[in-house]
Chain A
Amino acid sequence: MFRWIARGLRVGRLTTRYPWAAAEADALGSPLAAIHPQGPTRPDAEPAEAACPTGAIAIDDGGVTLDLGRCVACGLCWAVSPKSFVAGPAYGAAADRREGLLVRCAWQARPETPARRVRKPSGFWRRSLHVRHVDAGSDGAIELELAQLTAPHYDLHRLGVFFTASPRHADALLVTGPMTHGMIAALRTTFEAMPSPKLVIAAGSDAISGGLWVGGEHTVGGVDDVLPVDVYIPGSPPSPLALIDGLLLASGRRFPLLAAATTMEVTS
């Protein structure tokens, strides 16, 4: 046992400064698409609309609309249309309504960041939020990110957020995956077992829009067809930082840097 205590001391503190300060550059990764800060142009943006596998990019005469809820972070848009799209922030995109994930930008104008709303300050969950996670058909990656939240680098417990096994103890239901038909009954049962008031968080673009797994007969294509969703966390999968950002938004806590977006550089 002494060996482990000694090792623990030697490793020292690994935990991110976020959300008390901007996250370390090391921790950034898995960015969603964003509109180029110089403003998109139509001839440049058109290949991206064609290349996007989920139809997250829509172009019309007025400008371009980017739906982060459909973006699966594949990076094809910023590869084919580098003057209109870039790798976006690694966290800070969570929203409390579906329209909050739509980024609209006129041609050659600077993109506007959608106004970030802090949920009504009920104060109810600000000190402690207990989360029940249900996997409704994810690709398995987001479960690794969720597991990291309780590990040393992210240590969610310091923020008063805990994963709980029993839905009876849960304030929030965090759903991942494109809502497969096989999981509908189990998800409803879990939701009904939770005491009110309760929150539903759709984590990952699959849970928001179905991602790539739509159009078939096996998925609903998004959780909000089955349960009322309170917070949307886009990403494929959302990084641990993005998940913390969404959980803080759900709990109604305010942090000075909550809205600060940090963009990573992707080697090109």
Chain B
Amino acid sequence: MTGRERTSTSALVAEPGPELERLEKRGDRFVLLAALDDRRALYLSFGPDGYTPFVAAGPGLPDAGARFPAAASYQLEAGELHGLAFAGRKPEAGVRGLFVHRGGADGAGGRLPREGPELPLPVPPYRGEAVLRIPFGPVRDATVESLMHRFHYLGERILSLEQHLGYKHRGAEDSLRRATVATLPVYAERVSGPNAVAFALAACQAVERASDITVPPRAEALRAILAELERAYNHFRDIGRIAASTTLRVAAAQGHALQEWTQRIGARLTGHRFLRGAVAVGGLRRDLDVDGLADEVSRLEADARAYIEALEATELFVDRLETTGVLTPERARAWGAVGPVGRGSGVDVDVRRDAAYGAYRGLGFDVPTRQAGDAMARFRVRCEEVLTSLYLVRELTETLPAGAVIAVRPSAFPEDVLMLGWAEGARGEVVAALTTDARGALARAVLRGGSRHNWPLFPDTVTDTYLMDYAINEASWGLTVASHDR
């Protein structure tokens, strides 16, 4: 599915049992599972031929979690939001907590109720006076997103962490079905605010691939510049948050200052601090003025390099990060963890290189990985990536082709197709799977960001660690809740 193809979902129907077995044997990386409606599920994996989708119709869908552990949380989501039923064990057994408001009394599925029942927290797994409980959320620290982490702990030791997401579910994918070719990027940019460019690129490239639209080279290069600026400000922000979690106030402030600098560069290019309103289906909405960009980015790069060196030389900081929040490479690989979280645990996945799109087809760059899987590994991966991103911005600016930024402005989506697009966001692979009906309206729009894929992995890295490490661990993952809950 790396070439330009036009496929109807009905042409992709396969027998799920044997197909999952074949994909597992082939060593595919599991990407997503999503309900297309209350009867059919879309499966997507990444193998030697690129992205491989297939569709299976219920009832009697097998439990894909047996072959691909990451599938369990997607099955839970498909059950809760679309009432799709999967065979085998209840998903709760494998994944703790996802969407808080369950439709049926037994959590079997159905649409969400208008104002949900009180939080159905499971019975505490521990008893005894010495075991303490913190229900942390959904309202947490100021200026962070809503989710709930419920700890049980004994002394300083965390016995278990239950993770409850879904408080922020706003039906973004339902609203997205209203999108037209013109407004598709507007919606996609607002599914996960800090990943606006990556989401817009995934969605627009899905339509371009299915409609056989060629994006002019100048637009491809400018899109890559925006995507790298987005990665850079997010990584600066996450590095600053990691520093804050180790109580390094000055380092935290300077991380935020680098983030602000990068966002201001983006705002001068696009008008918007989150780089919105530039990407359009077919190219860019308008040309961007890159005068002075390369010079300013090289000053930013020098400052970032000095900042990172200062952090690496601060023992207090390094000591707190090493061996904190370990995600083992075995578990990360079995799950198909993406983004800096996956790469920090040795999962060498970056779709800019593995399924190159746009300007990345002709670019050489390193994809950093680490094997340790701890907070330090995730920090180091981000540090190397942010410098690579700034280098790429300079490189792309200096070799920017002239010409138009949009050649074809399609007026409608192609009819009855599955459109697939992808982009590497700051938190990992972003995948758009859009289907249209016979009249060319969007029938289903799935936008899966890296955070959606990685969140279910987080609780196990907290269990059996110490309370003081939790904040550092969470900051080092740097996930957004909005792109999980959608």
Contact = CB atoms under 8 A, between A and B. Distances in A.
Interface of A: 3-5, 7-8, 11, 14, 26-31, 51, 53, 72-76, 79, 87, 131-153, 163-165, 177-178, 180-187, 190, 211-219, 236-237, 239, 264, 266-268
Interface stretch (B8-16, B285-293, B383-391): B285-293
Contact of A212 (B116, B141, B187, B277): B187
B288 to A, nearest CB: 6
Contact of B257 (A135, A147, A153): A153
Contacts of B259: 144, 148
B183 A53 contact: yes
Interface of B: 100-101, 111-116, 118-119, 138-139, 141-146, 166-172, 174-175, 178-179, 182-183, 186-187, 190-194, 196, 237, 240, 248, 250-251, 253-254, 256-257, 259-260, 263-264, 266-269, 271-274, 276-277, 285-289, 306-307, 310, 313-314, 480-483, 485
B182 A76 contact: yes
Contact of A133 (B113, B143, B171, B313): B143
B274 A182 contact: no
A27 B272 CA distance: 11
Contacts of B260: 14, 148, 151-153
B198 to A, nearest CB: 13
Contacts of B146: 134-137, 183, 186
A128 B422 CA distance: 47
A239 B273 contact: yes
A218 B118 contact: no
15 contacts: A4-B248, A4-B310, A26-B264, A30-B276, A51-B182, A51-B183, A73-B277, A140-B192, A142-B193, A144-B259, A151-B260, A177-B170, A182-B169, A183-B167, A186-B167
Nearest to A140: B482
Contacts of B142: 131-133, 146, 163-165
Contacts of B167: 137, 180, 182-183, 186
A139 B192 contact: yes
A88 B200 CA distance: 23
Contact of A76 (B183, B314, B485): B183
B190 A212 contact: yes
A147 B143 contact: yes
B143 A146 contact: yes
Contacts of B113: 181
A264 B171 contact: no
Contacts of B273: 29-30, 145, 239
Contacts of A165: 141-142
Nearest to B253: A152
